[in-house]
Amino acid sequence: MIIGVDTGGTFTDFVFKKEDQWGVYKLLSTPDNPARAVLTGLDHVGGKEKQQIIHGSTVATNAILERKGARTALITNKGFEDVIEIGRQNRSRLYDLAYRREPQIVPPDLRFGVKGRVLSTGEEHAPLDAEEARKVIKQIERSRAQSVAVCFIFSFANPSHEEKIKELLGNTGIAVSLSHEILAEFREFERTSTTVLNAYVVPKMHNYLGKLMAEMAEGNSLSIMQSNGGSISAETAMQESVRTILSGPAGGVVGGLEIGKIAGHTHLITFDMGGTSTDVSLIDGSFSLTVESRISGYPLKVPMIDIHTVGAGGGSIAAVDVGGSLKVGPESSGADPGPICYGKGEQITVTDANLYLGRLIPEHFLGGTMKLQRNRLDSFFQQMAQKIGLSPMELAEGILSVANTAMEKAIRVISVEKGYDPREFVLFSFGGAGGMHGAFLARLLNIPKVLVPQNPGILSAIGMIMADVIKDYSFTVMRNQLNCTADQLSDFFEDLEKRGLKDLSKEGFAKKNIRLERYLDMRYEGQSYEIIVPLEANYIDGFHTLHEKTYGYRNEDKMVEIVNIRLRARGIPAKPRFQQAKKVKRQPSRKAYLGEREVVFDQKKRKTQIIARDRLLNGNRIPGPAILVEYSSTIVIPPFADAHVDEYGNVIMEIVD
């Protein structure tokens, strides 16, 4: 049995496949111990079956955001101990006069310098002072540090000093992260930051994954989703935990890409609205990668799918700010206490607003296994409505409008601000709450179509099952277009390709199922940032074209530099197949209709059909307004949209007004 597991802030999702049979399962997350919900779900869906598990984990992300990682020390060159503190002169809030950087993960008393120096050529200028290194390690042991980040200048050209430190730390029991293994690139600040983040979360991930593996039955396998759109073994994730940050949202983008291709749509904007946040990403034939990510203010330079996240989800809390205006999020009610309608919460959320307007059907939530308490809402909405000077109905629609505006802005960041026209894309809507907001966002952005896949509430888990195993490697070469030939580039890639083939063979892949993809980080001479360009015969022209698309201009008279080479080694596993259904008549079966409700749209109550999505067939058409209910999600088809079902069971909404 293949099982995809996605741990979210509110629910933990499972999708499982045995032979040709699919199944889904959701249960509330256990934030105090995420492993508890995972193990409970695995036992429920898998029992004693032999299991192949692919898991998207939030452990590393939460450890950084909540500052609950390991006590971490840093060893670097003498005189470079404060590079991590100095950083860059960039300010994320340029006009904030009270701006202060986040305090560093590694405090000054845990930063240690050791004499020794390697030049940019890889030549050893001064040997590592082994005696001083031993003294530093003794200090680290006394400090009770649990993890050490080792980052020497130009170690990517010659890693011998870092390897010597690892050797000296060998018997201390302290976890070690070496920068040349995590990120073999120049720019010591970003390399140090990425290595420190890895060191900070490794003990947490080791503990979490160790517990999962200890509780799993013998013969079961566990892989972890990465933020680059591929999975890796749990053993690798324990050592390179920084690669698992944003792994859950990455699974959703992979699922969107694969299902979109099957349905004939290759230009997508993925819209994943869960309980705590909303993640959006743009797919222009393939997903967008970035090496310029940040988390909690720290640069993170490993390749990641370019995902933009905002604090607007089903559990986002509505409140009145000091100026008397309505705001929604980023605070979330989470799984506990959850929205008011879950029975324990006492703060209005987006989910409560949807229920208040009739857009959630209480008796069909989670397939009827979890009853929503509509009767708890009235007093809370009346109190807040009176405070803000609106009617309760206006307040509920206002909450949804504010949340939709935040999500609209997020989509503009990954589309309009990067030179893409949203009107040329299909909005791929998923997540537990995505189907209730997709049509409204499409109208705001003039996107003509919305695609809602089957089981949208657990699509991230489906994406994990469909993901390749991916290993990313990089190396700084610093050449220009005149002093770098095609043969030299091939020589540069040779060592990386050997590593890629070796690592993927350890993951169980035969050579015929391995793909090696070459990329270059390129820029114009004098620029500070690079663009990732596929290595093709005319890669210089490719760079000019991509630069023009990204920044609006090209300069073919300017010298082009190749800064880093990148290799993406991809192991292609056997993937689940989706069956096409035969087309039937336009009118859904009578069995699909579950009744009629009054639902509020634009301050008016409209009679709205309630329809069971799992009883709809290929070719069925559903005019708005209508509400489709299913186990993992609810889809709202407003009066300004019509919908039909395609041959793969996807619901396609078209904006007609």
pLDDT reported for residue 9: 67
3 state DSSP class of 442: helix
pLDDT reported for residue 292: 85
In this structure, how many other beta carbons lie within 10 angstroms of the beta carbon of residue 101?
10
Q: How far apart are CA 241 and CA 467, in angstroms?
A: 18
Question: 642 or 457: whose pLDDT is higher?
Answer: 642
Question: 47 or 198: whose pLDDT is higher?
Answer: 198
Q: How far apart are CA 626 and CA 608, in angstroms?
A: 5
Find the angle CA(285)-CA(291)-CA(296) to the nearest 5 degrees. Answer: 120
Q: How far apart are CA 246 and CA 227, in angstroms?
A: 5
188: nearest Cα among 117, 125, 103, 274: 117
Question: 458 or 82: whose pLDDT is higher?
Answer: 82
Do residues 603 and 394 touch, judged by C-beta distance below 8 A? yes
For CA atoms 305, 308, 311, 314, the dihedral sign is: negative
106: nearest Cα among 78, 64, 141: 64
Strand partners, 6: 13, 56
3 state DSSP class of 148: strand
DSSP labels, 468-515: PEEEEEEEEEEEETTS--HHHHHHHHHHHHHHHHHHHHHTT--GGGEE
The first and second tokens of residue 633, run together, are 């999600």
CA 6 to chain centre: 11
The torsion angles phi and psi of 482, rounded to 5 degrees, stand at: -90, -30
Strand partners, 287: 283
Do residues 537 and 502 touch, judged by C-beta distance below 8 A? no
3 state DSSP class of 305: strand
Share of the chain above pLDDT 90, in %: 59
Element (H, E) at 27: strand 21-28
Do residues 432 and 457 touch, judged by C-beta distance below 8 A? yes
Q: How far apart are CA 480 and CA 513, in angstroms?
A: 34
Average pLDDT, the chain: 90
Q: What is the pLDDT of residues 211-231, one digit of tens each?
A: 889 888 888 889 999 999 999
Give the mean pLDDT of 625-641: 93
Do residues 369 and 338 touch, judged by C-beta distance below 8 A? no
pLDDT reported for residue 398: 95
Q: How far apart are CA 350 and CA 395, in angstroms?
A: 11
Q: What is the pLDDT of residues 55-100, one digit of tens each?
A: 988 788 888 877 889 999 999 999 999 999 998 887 777 888 888 8
Q: How far apart are CA 362 and CA 366, in angstroms?
A: 9
Cis peptide before 362 (omega within 30 of 0): no
For CATH 3.30.420.40, the residue range(s) in the chain are 2-58+206-243
Give residues with Cβ within 8 angstroms of 333, minimum separation 6: 315, 317, 339, 345, 347, 349
3-state helix vs strand vs coil in the chain, percent to 5 = 35, 30, 35
Instruction: Look at residue 334 and tell me whether its pLDDT is greater than 80.
Output: no
| Greatest C-alpha distance within the chain | 82
For CA atoms 94, 97, 98, 103, the dihedral sign is: positive
420: nearest Cα among 550, 322, 593: 550
DSSP letter (8 states) at residue 336: T
372: nearest Cα among 402, 387, 394, 352: 352
Instruction: Look at residue 310 and tell me whether its pLDDT is greater than 80.
Output: yes
Give the mean pLDDT of 287-315: 86
In this structure, how many other beta carbons lie within 10 angstroms of the beta carbon of residue 587?
11
338: nearest Cα among 29, 615, 1, 15: 29
Do residues 169 and 61 touch, judged by C-beta distance below 8 A? no
pLDDT reported for residue 25: 87
Instruction: Look at residue 584 and tell me whether its pLDDT is greater than 80.
Output: no
Q: How far apart are CA 315 and CA 355, in angstroms?
A: 12
Instruction: Look at residue 612 and tell me whether its pLDDT is greater than 90.
Output: yes
The first and second tokens of residue 20, run together, are 């040709």
The domain 2-58+206-243: what is its CATH number? Answer: 3.30.420.40
Instruction: Look at residue 286 and tell me whether its pLDDT is greater than 90.
Output: no
Do residues 437 and 458 touch, judged by C-beta distance below 8 A? no
Give residues with Cβ within 8 angstroms of 75, minimum separation 6: 112, 113, 114, 133, 136, 140, 148, 149, 150, 151, 165
- pTM recorded for the entire structure: 0.86
DSSP letter (8 states) at residue 171: T
Give the mean pLDDT of 504-509: 89
Q: How far apart are CA 441 and CA 1, in angstroms?
A: 37
Residue 320, CA distances (Å) to 271, 324, 326 in order: 27, 6, 5
DSSP labels, 337-398: T--GGGTS--S-BHHHHHHHTT-S-GGGGGGGTS---GGGHHHHHHHHHHHHTS-HHHHHHH
pLDDT reported for residue 335: 66
The amino acid sitting at 466 is: M
Q: How far apart are CA 15 and CA 21, in angstroms?
A: 11
Q: What is the pLDDT of residues 404-448, one digit of tens each?
A: 999 999 999 999 888 899 999 999 999 888 999 999 999 999 999
Q: How far apart are CA 204 and CA 245, in angstroms?
A: 13
Do residues 10 and 335 touch, judged by C-beta distance below 8 A? yes
Strand partners, 117: 126
Q: What is the four-CA torsion angle of 556, 557, 563, 569, rounded to 10 degrees?
A: 20
Q: What is the pLDDT of residues 462-499, one digit of tens each?
A: 889 889 999 999 999 999 998 888 888 889 999 999 99
Place of tokens 């609810």: 634
Q: How far apart are CA 317 and CA 339, in angstroms?
A: 8
Residue 339, CA distances (Å) to 262, 378, 580 in order: 36, 14, 38
